[in-house]
């Protein structure tokens, strides 16, 4: 009976550590992003809040799994919009 209790306890500890291995306390391990959406091959660049230029908004969402948002339309470092000239 004691042996069974030890095995069960060890298994529970293993399971609790396996999900968060390499992550700090309270931080959840990232989940895989489903890649079931297809984006049109249209070049309409957007700058993400991560400072990376994506070919369009759909590609931004697909490549970042929704963790990054559109900061502005256009390439990063060159926002499109009305100029002050």
Q: What is the pLDDT of residue 32?
A: 62
Contact call for residues 66 and 50 (beta carbons, < 8 A): no
Q: What is the pLDDT of residue 38?
A: 81
Q: What is the pLDDT of residue 14?
A: 63
Torsion of CA 69, 76, 50, 72, to 10 degrees: -20
Residue 72, strand partner residues: 47
Residue corresponding to tokens 């990376």 = 52
CATH of the domain at 68: 3.30.60.30
Residue 22 falls within a domain, yes or no? no
Quote the number of domains for the chain. Answer: 1
pLDDT, mean of each 10-residue run, the chain (85 residues):
73 57 52 70 95 94 90 86 47
Domain that holds residue 56: 40-80
Burial label, 19 (beta-carbon count in 10 A; 0-12, 13-18, 19+): exposed
């Amino acid at each position: 009976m004691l042996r069974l209790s030890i095995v069960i306890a060890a298994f529970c500890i293993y399971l609790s550590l396996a999900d968060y291995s390499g992550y700090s306390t309270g931080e959840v391990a990232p989940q895989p992003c489903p890649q079931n959406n297809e984006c049109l091959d249209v070049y309409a660049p957007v700058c993400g809040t991560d400072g990376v230029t994506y070919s369009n908004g759909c590609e931004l969402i697909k490549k970042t799994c929704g963790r990054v948002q559109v900061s502005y339309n256009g390439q990063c470092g060159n926002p499109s919009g009305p100029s002050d000239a």
